[in-house]
Amino acid sequence: MTSDEMTQTPYGRALRALRGSFVQAGLFSAAINLLMLTGPIYMLQIYDRVLASGSVPTLLGLFLIVVVLYAFMGIYEFIRSRLLSRAAYRFDEMTGELAFRQLLENNNKNGKGGNALRDLEIIRGFLSGPAIRGLFDAPWIPIFLVAVFIIHPWLGYLTLAGAGVVVALALINQWATRDALARAMQLDGMERAFVGQSLRNAETVQALGMREAVSKRWRAAHQAGLAESQKGGDRSDIFSAGSRVFRLLLQSILLTGGAYLALDQQISAGMIVGASILAGRALAPVDQVIGQWRSIGRAFEAHKRLAEVFAAMPASKPRVSLPEPTGAVQLTGVTKLMPGGMRRDRSYILDKVSFELEPGDVLGVIGNSAAGKSSLARMLVGVWQPDAGEVRLDGATLDQWEPDTLGRHIGYLPQHVEMLPGTIAENISRFDPNAKEEDIFKAARSAGVHDLILGLPDGYATKVGYAGQPLSGGQIQRIGLARAIYRMPKLVVLDEPNAHLDTQGDQSLTETIRFLREAGSTVVVMAHRPSVLVETSKVLILHQGKVAKFGRREEIFRMAMQSVPSQPTPVETRKVG
């Protein structure tokens, strides 16, 4: 991606918004580095003027000036640090929510949430850390080099040669550690994904005796990441130590050269110390950058990943506010390929699925395992987008709706229901900050869980923790149903809603579907048990991703009954033994 293309993304715009802060930080860096000349100049005055004249008033006057100048330098350093930390905060504020949304969208598309938020944390730490201050100080190295040249050209050449060696060490350091640091970040992301999956399946891991195997798997991934990080760190430490030692050696070389020039009466004694301090200051930013090279490398890799993440965001299309839908659904040739599949391979999850539903229809979708029922549910609610064909709600394709607006008109109960950390009331209301209690209670009563919730220790204020604790699987399923029908959406999609329900829960589900039908909502139920089909008006049979049969429930059942032989086929029996 070119720099021009990146500036058109939200990430590029956020970086561009920081230019003002960077310009101000650069100006304060200039003032700070000019004030860094205070020490060398003061040293020259002490050796060449105060000691020669023996004037105490001159000494005190110079000392007061130095105190004032250093006070200003401290103030400027504080302002620069504050500017950079505020810039980091503003950058996070401009990109954090977008990165979180993109993370959710990526997870829906391919199951990989990525590390966008962690990358943002790395960039934020870099913007407010010591590494960037070293980079701001680096452009002012020539000031100190010029000052050394003014003292004596030979000392300037020595300092310039030393700076060249330190810069060469920095470039070699970057070349030597780049691949290792990039691999370490990649392995770290894979390890975090594995940890997340393991935590989500902790009960299964424990019940099946997989703890040792999973722990070893994590340990192997963790050690692989550590090895790459250690490899990059070791190489960086070598160059960092080499640079630091060379700087000390250069100080001694400059003192030796300065002493020789002083003995030859070419410079004064004060100039020896002044040149040493100036040379040290000239090389300090380079040494600081090398010391923070691991942080800089991680920030650069995070920057590249974030640029790719934000570049992948679809351009926001202008959308017209559509009227509230009635629930009419139309699917035309909806096709979904398997991940990595090709059309010529005919590796379809869904293959040219077409049907229409009128407002108030209740569709039961049945089929064998892997027939495509859950995939169809994801298509209907817009979680997945078809590779071919269209899904329309009241004549408009789902991408014509603003996503959050569409979500308010849709109820969705996935096959595996999970609660988010918060109260039961917040989960039912979908964390709507303007939720009304009567809407929450209505949804709970319609789903038949009002009494169940009241029976909990804190009722609707009961806190839901990790993995839905303290709720059981059936309770989570029924509260998830209340969340799905909150504020009476016009399209409700239930993916095997009775998978974890007992007889009472099954009866409540049937009553809820009847209530939705009478209210005019369109309901699509991926059937797990035949009892759900009692309230359906239409039935769709999926087979290997294709529509095998679709029609009125009575017609489909009559056709199914006609296909069954009226008399059982006689079976020949024989005596055994």
> Which pLDDT does position 340 carry in this prediction?
59
Question: Residue 392: helix, strand or coil by DSSP?
Answer: strand
Q: Is residue 317 part of a domain?
A: no
Per-residue pLDDT for 374 more than 90?
Answer: yes
Quickly state the pLDDT bin for 3 (edges 50, 70, 90). low
- Which backbone phi and psi does 41 adopt, to 5 degrees? -65, -40
Question: Does pTM top 0.85 for this prediction?
Answer: no
Compute the CA torsion angle 83, 88, 92, 95 (nearest 10 deg): 90
Q: Average pLDDT in the 412-432 region? A: 93
Q: Which residue has the tokens 């008109």?
A: 409
- Higher pLDDT, residue 525 or 310: 525
Q: For residues 303 and 333, state if they share a domain.
A: no
343 and 257 assigned to the same domain: no
Q: At residue 134, does pLDDT exceed 50?
A: yes
Among 250, 283, 311, the domain boundary falls at: 311
If you average pLDDT over residues 535-550, what whole number do you get? 93
| Strands in 472-534 per DSSP E | 491-495, 522-526
Q: What is the pLDDT of residue 109?
A: 56
List, edge to edge, every strand of the sheet that includes 348-357: 348-357, 329-337, 388-393, 396-397
pLDDT at 98: 80
**How much is the CA Rg of the chain, to the nearest whole Å?**
35
State how far the Cα of 17 lies from the Cα of 11, in Å rounded to an integer.
Answer: 10
Q: Is residue 319 part of a domain?
A: no
Peptide bond into 130 cis (omega under 30): no
Q: What is the mean pLDDT of residues 477-499?
A: 93
Where residue 545 falls (left for φ over 0; alpha for ψ -120 to 50; beta otherwise) is: left
State residue 523's pLDDT score. 97
Residue 20 has pLDDT above 70, yes or no: yes
**DSSP 8-class letter at 78:** H
pLDDT of residue 318: 66
Residue 73 has pLDDT above 50, yes or no: yes
Torsion of CA 255, 261, 263, 268, to 10 degrees: -80
572 in a structural domain: no
Q: What is the mean pLDDT of residues 205-215?
A: 80
Q: Which residues contact 425 (CB under 8 A, 6 or more apart)?
A: 435, 437, 440, 460, 461
Closest CA to 328 of 522, 523, 486: 522
> CA neighbours within 13 Å on the CB side: how many for 65?
15
Q: How confident is the model at residue 346 (pLDDT cuts 50, 70, 90)?
A: low
Strand positions, DSSP E, 296-339: 329-337
Report d(CA 367, CA 371) in Å as an integer: 6
Task: Report the distance separating Cα 422 and Cα 450, nearest Å.
Answer: 18
Report if residue 477 sits inside a domain: yes
Task: Give the pLDDT confidence of 230-254 residue by residue, as tens digits.
Answer: 888 787 788 778 877 887 888 888 8
Least confident of 196-205, 297-306, 450-459, 528-537: 196-205
More confident residue, 58 or 10: 58
293 and 356 together in one domain: no
Task: Mark whether 304 and 345 lie in a shared domain.
Answer: no
Are 327 and 520 spatial neighbours (Cβ–Cβ below 8 Å)? yes
Predicted local confidence at residue 316, as pLDDT: 62
Name the most confidently modeled range: 12-16, 152-156, 490-494. Answer: 490-494
Q: Based on the domain organization, do 431 and 304 belong to the same domain?
A: no
Same domain, 279 and 395: no
Q: Does residue 509 lie within any of the structural domains?
A: yes
Domain closes at, from 281, 311, 341: 311
Rounded Cα distance between 462 and 483, Å, is 15
CATH number at residue 203: 1.20.1560.10
**Of 341, 310, 322, nearest in space to 392 by CA:** 322
CB atoms within 10 A of CB 501: 20
Is 321 inside any structural domain? Answer: no
pLDDT at 343 over 60: no
**Token output for 13:** 């715009």
pLDDT at 366: 92
Residue 574 inside a domain? The answer is: no
Q: Is the pLDDT of residue 556 over 80?
A: yes
The pair of three-digit structure tokens given for residue 315, joined into one six-digit string: 């351009």
Positive or negative: CA dihedral 69, 72, 74, 76: negative
Torsion over CA of 148, 149, 152 and 157, rounded to 10 degrees? Answer: 100
Instruction: Please compute the mean of the pLDDT values over residues 303-325 and round it to a whole number.
Output: 79
Task: Give the integer Cα–Cα distance in Å for 450 and 444.
Answer: 5
* 411 shares a domain with 307: no
The pLDDT of 325-345, averaged and rounded, is 82
Mean pLDDT score across all residues of the chain: 85
DSSP state of 460: G
One domain, residues 13 and 108? yes
**Structural domain includes residue 320:** no
Q: In residues, how long is the chain?
A: 577
Q: Are residues 287 and 341 in the same domain?
A: no
Helix 269-291 vs helix 130-137: crossing angle, to nearest 10: 130
> What is the signed CA dihedral for 353, 356, 357, 359, rounded to 10 degrees?
140
Percent of the chain with pLDDT over 70: 90
With 0-12 / 13-18 / 19 or more C-beta atoms within 10 angstroms meaning exposed / middle / buried, residue 457 is exposed
Total structural domains within the chain: 2
Structure tokens at 175: 């070349």
Angle in degrees, CA 269, 270, 276, rounded to 5:
100
Choose one of 279, 311, 343: the last residue of a domain: 311
Inform me whether the pLDDT recorded for 488 exceeds 90.
yes
Question: Which of 212-216, 283-287, 311-315, 544-548 has the lowest average pLDDT?
Answer: 311-315
In this structure, the answer to whether residues 286 and 425 fall within a common structural domain is no
Sign of torsion over alpha carbons 37, 38, 41, 43: negative
Residue pair 210/218 in contact (Cβ under 8 Å)? The answer is: no
Q: Tell me the residue range of the domain where 148 lies.
A: 3-311
Does residue 306 surpass a pLDDT of 70? yes
Compare 282 and 363 and report the one with higher pLDDT: 363
CATH number at residue 458: 3.40.50.300
Distance between CA atoms of residues 367 and 369, nearest Å: 7
Residue 484 near residue 523 (C-beta atoms within 8 A): no
Q: Band the pLDDT of 107: cuts 50, 70, 90.
A: low
In this prediction, residue 1 has a pLDDT band, given cuts at 50, 70 and 90, of low
Are 337 and 210 within one domain?
no
Report the percentage of the chain scoring pLDDT > 90. Answer: 40
Higher pLDDT among residues 170 and 329, named by residue: 329
Same domain, 272 and 402: no
Residue 573 has a pLDDT of 37
Q: How many CA atoms lie within 13 A of 426 on its CB side?
A: 12
At residue 345 the predicted structure's pLDDT band, cuts being 50, 70 and 90, is low
Least confident stretch, 119-128, 161-170, 489-498: 161-170
